[in-house]
Structure 1
Amino acid sequence: MSWIYLIIAGISEIAWAFGLKYSEGFTNIMPTIFTIAGIIFSFYLFSKSIRDIPIGTAYAVFTGIGAAGTVIIGMLFLNETASLLKIILVLILLSGIIGLKLSSNDKEEDKGGAA
Structure 2
Amino acid sequence: MTKEWIKVFFAAFFEVFWVIGLKHADGPWEWTGTAIAIAISFYALIAAGNKLPVGTVYAVFVGLGTAGTVLSEILFFGEPIKAAKLVLILVLLIGVIGLKLVTDETEGERS
Instruction: Tell me the TM-score normalised to structure 2 length.
Output: 0.90
| Matching of residue 2 in structure 1 with residue 4 in structure 2 | yes
Distance in 2 of aligned mates of 1:22 and 1:29: 12
SS where residue 106 of structure 1 aligns? coil
Distance in 1 of aligned mates of 2:22 and 2:82: 25
- 2:39 equivalent in structure 1: 40
SS where residue 90 of structure 2 aligns? helix
- 1:61 equivalent in structure 2: 60
1:65-80 matches, within 5 Å, as 65-80=64-79
Distance in 1 of aligned mates of 2:68 and 2:82: 16
For residues 14-69 of structure 1, the C-alpha deviation after alignment (integer angstroms, 9 at most, x for no partner) is 01111112224xxx100100000000000000011011211110000011111000
Unaligned runs of 5+ in 2: none
Number of residue pairs matched by the alignment: 107
Q: Which amino acid aligns with 2:23?
A: K
Unaligned runs of 5+ in 1: 111-115
Distance in 2 of aligned mates of 1:43 and 1:85: 30
Distance in 2 of aligned mates of 1:46 and 1:52: 11
Provide runs of 4+ in structure 1 moved above 4 Å: none
Distance in 2 of aligned mates of 1:23 and 1:82: 23
